[in-house]
Structure 1
Amino acid sequence: MNTHQTLWYRFASASLIMLILLCFAWEMWLAPYKPGGSIWVIKVLPLLFPLRGILQKNIYTMQWASMFIMFYFIEGVVRAMSDADPISRMLAGAEIVLSVVFFLSTIYYVKPFKQIAKAAKKQAEADQAKSTS
């Protein structure tokens, strides 16, 4: 793995962990819907599903998690535009930034693997065409 891929992997894993911590703290202490914590803290649970695969550098997990994270981007945009509490709007901005960082870093981490797979498929098709002719 080259240094760029290592950097993208670190960005992906760090942004996911920070997003988990942010969402948990947001709904429990920083700006919950109800004082003392909110049931909305359960929004952290779906973020835990890809965590293991991301930490293990699983390409498949990175691919689906990069699409899945867009739900958190959307939530951040909606809450940044609609919440009355300025702290909540600031936290929504942080959620937007972390979800974008995660999305971009996973895309750039996976890109070389996708190129290798595409080249291998093209080579296999060429080999198959040679053997049939």
Structure 2
Amino acid sequence: MNLVRNLRMISLISFFGLMVTLLIWILIAEHSENFPVAAWLIIGVMPLLFPMRGILYGKTYTHAWASFLMLFYIAHGIGELYSRDAVIWYPLFEVIFSSSFFIAANLYIRAFAKLRKNAQT
């Protein structure tokens, strides 16, 4: 039970850490003026709003498909790290938070299923 709770907390911290990182990156950091901030918010942050309720309630199904969503953010962060010359903190945090959510969510699903199986027997 303790492992399940800890993995869920890691996934929650990683999920909201990624969301805050993206918001700060989009709203505060320097970027091209050719693309509006609202479009960046829609493309970057809005996909995270869809699984938020299920993640807050600890739904394993939502954790499963949200972990696949994190693959986009991992790929985006690695691409930005590779192509950036100046500030690498935002893409670095994006990779760290999305990777940790991906790992913690998958381990949470496994641990929750094992806990549920042991409770039934």
TM-score scaled by structure 2? 0.85
* Identity in percent: 27
The SS at the match of 1:34 is coil
8 Å CA contact retained: 2:7, 2:104: yes
* Larger displacement relative to structure 2 (54-63 or 23-32): 23-32
The aligned residue for residue 102 of structure 1 is: 101
Counterpart-to-counterpart distance in 1, 2:56 and 2:116: 22
Number of residue pairs the alignment of both structures matches = 116
Counterpart in the other structure of 2:61: 60
Gaps of 5+ in 2: none
Q: Residues 1-133 of structure 1 correspond to what in structure 2 (within 5 A)?
A: 2-34=1-33, 38=37, 39-42=39-42, 43-84=44-85, 86-87=86-87, 89-115=88-114
Q: Quick check: which has more Rg, 1 or 2?
A: 1
1:68-89 per-residue CA deviation (whole Å, 9 max, x = no partner) reads 11100000000011123x22x2
| 8 Å contact from structure 2 (residues 3, 111) kept in 1 | no
Instruction: Indicate how the Cα distance of structure 1 residues 90 and 113 shifts in structure 2: closer, same or farther if over 3 A, else same.
Output: same
Unpaired segments of 5 or more residues in structure 1?
120-133
- How much is the aligned-residue C-alpha RMSD, in angstroms? 2.1
What is the TM-score when the length of structure 1 is the normalising length? 0.78
